[in-house]
Amino acid sequence: MKVLLINEGTLSDMEVLKLMQERKEQRIHKSAMVEYAERNWMDHKVLKFLTQSHSQCSTLSASCIQDFLKELAQAKLSALTSAEKLQFINHIPTELVDIHLIVEDCAGRFSETQVDELIRIVERTLAVELIKQRRNAETAQTEGMAGEVEE
C-alpha cells in the first residue's frame, strides 16, 4: 500500500464525528460485508465514544468553531498554538483549572485577565449548548429536591 498524503492536518472531535456518521450512512445503503467486520467494530466504538462520553462535540457546529477562532484573533490571544486551539475545541474548558491543563506555561504566557477573556470567549462561542444543558440539569435537580422536601 502506498501513502498518498502525509498528515494533511488535524481533525477536531466534531469533524471526526461527522465523518464517522457519514461513513455509517454510506454503509447502511450498501450490503454489510463480513470482510470489514473489524473496521465496522472500530467505527462503532469511535461513534459510541464521541456521542456517549464526556465529549461535547455533538453540541458544536462549524460556525461555533469559526466564531471561536475569530474571537481569539480579535482578542489578540493568537499566542495559542494550533494544538492548544484544537484542545480548546475538543474539551471546551470553562474553568480556570481546565485552561491551565491545556495551555503549557499558562501563567508565564498569559495574564489573569487574558485567561479570564479566554474563558469568556469559550463560553460565548463553544460552550453555549453545554452551559444550557448544565443549567437545565441544575434546574431539574433543584426541582426534584424541592419536590422531596414538600413530601
Could you tell me what percent of the chain has a pLDDT over 70?
89
pLDDT tens per residue across span 81-108: 999 999 999 888 989 999 999 999 999 9
Domains in the chain: ranges and CATH: 13-55 (no CATH), 61-130 (1.20.1250.40)
Q: What Rg value do the Cα atoms of the chain yield, rounded?
A: 20
pTM assigned to the model: 0.76
What whole-number distance in Å separates Cα of residue 111 and Cα of residue 50? Answer: 33
- Contact status, residue 84 vs residue 103, Cβ threshold 8 Å: yes
- Residues 54, 139: Cα–Cα separation, whole Å: 20
List Cβ neighbours of 98 (8 Å cut-off, separation of 6 or more).
91
- The tens place of each residue's pLDDT in the chain, 151 residues long, gives 677 777 778 888 888 889 888 888 887 777 655 667 788 888 889 888 888 866 677 778 889 899 999 999 888 876 899 999 999 998 889 899 999 999 999 999 999 999 999 999 999 998 887 777 777 777 887 777 666 655 5
Report the pLDDT value the prediction gives residue 151, as an integer from 0 to 100.
54
Q: What rounded mean pLDDT belongs to the chain?
A: 83
Which residues have CB under 8 Å from 146's CB, separation 6+?
Answer: none
